[in-house]
Amino acid sequence: MTPLILFVGFLGAGKTTFLRTLLPHLTSAGLAPQVLINDYQNARLDAATMRGLADSIISISGSCVCCGSREKLFGALEDATLTEKTLMLVEVNGTADAAQLIEMLTGDSRAIRYTLPWQISLVDAKRWQKRHQHNWLESDQVITATHFVLSHDSEVVGPRRSEVRWAVGRLNPRAPWVEVEGLAKELITLRADAHSLPRRVLGGEEPRKQEHSHPHAAHHFASMEVRLMHGISRAALEEFLRTLPPEVVRAKGILQLAGQHREYTFFDYLGENHASVLRNYNGEPEIPPMMLMVGSHLPQEIIRRAVADLIAPLPML
């Protein structure tokens, strides 16, 4: 069987960044990881930043794979070409219902070629339980974890790290905390031992498909994608991100800033009162300059007017 590893964490917890760090450890050990990325509307954005790091990268754009996009998830799992070196790494949407996803993957016959899933939960040390009305969802996402990773810990000082670890440990005392090197070693061992693991038994002698309800539809998260233009100045982009409406929980995108020629900038805004992150991206992406926003009850007209003001000074090509 092929190891199936889920990466779960609230919006902006650092799942994609962690995967980019983890993948070279796996490939250098001779493994052939495949990555499946689920995100609102345009999962190709994160997939573009992983190009060349995995045996294959599959993007599923749409709602969470635990509900609206679950058929795409199972279709990708069924269609994947698996070898003795394959690991299937699934980065799920930041608003996913982890418990429901585990139930699906454990009891559905379309996942019969895979081991029972591991769940790696990324816990944002800086923003843990600062999600206001979404705190309960962030808490729920750690209860079913098999491993924890503390992310953004370099951005906190004082006792915050230990306080977050203690709070998470109270919700799920069974899962150990790991860092990238330790998790890589565990995954390498899991791949080596996967052939000897017991075969799944799904609800009886015959595998079966399961039907599910979707209570987390009450999250009221929405997504919005807008096109940008190359040539925006860094200062203008940063000011635009700082003045986004508070309903925007996450905004990320890619473009070529003014003065850039052979490189691009990937930006990541993590909500009101949190700084944006801009980093250079080498190589031409396969998507046009764009931005994806996620949040509750997004004021789309306000956002569209702000984007129009952002690109208005640029020459039209």
Residue written as token pair 């009450």: 218
Q: Is the separation of the CB atoms in 42 and 290 below 8 Å?
A: yes
CA 39 from chain centre, in angstroms, equals 7
The verdict on 184 and 198 lying in the same domain is: yes
Share of the chain above pLDDT 70, in %: 79
> Is 255 within a domain?
yes
Average pLDDT over residues 222-228: 79
Q: What is d(CA 174, CA 169) in angstroms, rounded to the nearest whole number?
A: 8
The verdict on 259 and 159 lying in the same domain is: no
pTM of the predicted model as reported, rounded to 2 decimal places: 0.72
The verdict on 188 and 301 lying in the same domain is: no
Q: What is d(CA 218, CA 237) in angstroms, rounded to the nearest whole number?
A: 32
The verdict on 107 and 156 lying in the same domain is: yes
> Is 192 within a domain?
yes
* Single residue among 156, 188, 216 that ends a domain in this structure: 216
Going by the DSSP 8-state scheme, the letter that residue 176 receives in this structure is: P
* Local confidence band at 268 (pLDDT 50, 70, 90 cut-offs): confident
> Is 39 within a domain?
yes
Q: Is the separation of the CB atoms in 119 and 146 below 8 Å?
A: yes
Give residue 66's identity as a one-letter amino acid code: C
Residues facing residue 295 across a β-bridge: 222, 248
The verdict on 49 and 143 lying in the same domain is: yes
> Is 316 within a domain?
no
Q: What is d(CA 69, CA 55) in angstroms, rounded to the nearest whole number?
A: 23
pLDDT digits (tens, 9 = 90+) for 270-310: 665 555 667 777 777 777 888 877 666 778 889 999 999 99
Q: Is the separation of the CB atoms in 99 and 143 below 8 Å?
A: yes
* Single residue among 171, 195, 216 that ends a domain in this structure: 216
Q: What is the dihedral of CA 244, 246, 252, 254, to 10 degrees?
A: 0
The verdict on 124 and 271 lying in the same domain is: no
The verdict on 170 and 34 lying in the same domain is: yes
> Is 317 within a domain?
no
With a cut of 90, say whether residue 153 has pLDDT above it. yes
Q: Give me the number of domains the chain comprises.
A: 2
The verdict on 151 and 52 lying in the same domain is: yes
- For the chain, give the mean pLDDT: 82
Looking at residue 235, which CATH number applies to its domain?
3.30.1220.10
pLDDT of residue 230: 93
Least trusted range by pLDDT, from 55-59, 90-94, 120-124: 55-59
> Is 186 within a domain?
yes
pLDDT of residue 215: 46
pLDDT of residue 18: 94
71 token code pair? 């058929």
Average pLDDT over residues 174-191: 95
* Single residue among 158, 188, 216 that ends a domain in this structure: 216
The verdict on 62 and 132 lying in the same domain is: yes
Looking at residue 81, which CATH number applies to its domain?
3.40.50.300
The verdict on 33 and 168 lying in the same domain is: yes
> Is 144 within a domain?
yes
> Is 276 within a domain?
yes
pLDDT digits (tens, 9 = 90+) for 199-216: 555 444 344 444 444 444
By residue range, what is the domain housing residue 65?
4-216
Q: What is d(CA 294, CA 56) in angstroms, rounded to the nearest whole number?
A: 26
The verdict on 53 and 130 lying in the same domain is: yes
The verdict on 39 and 172 lying in the same domain is: yes
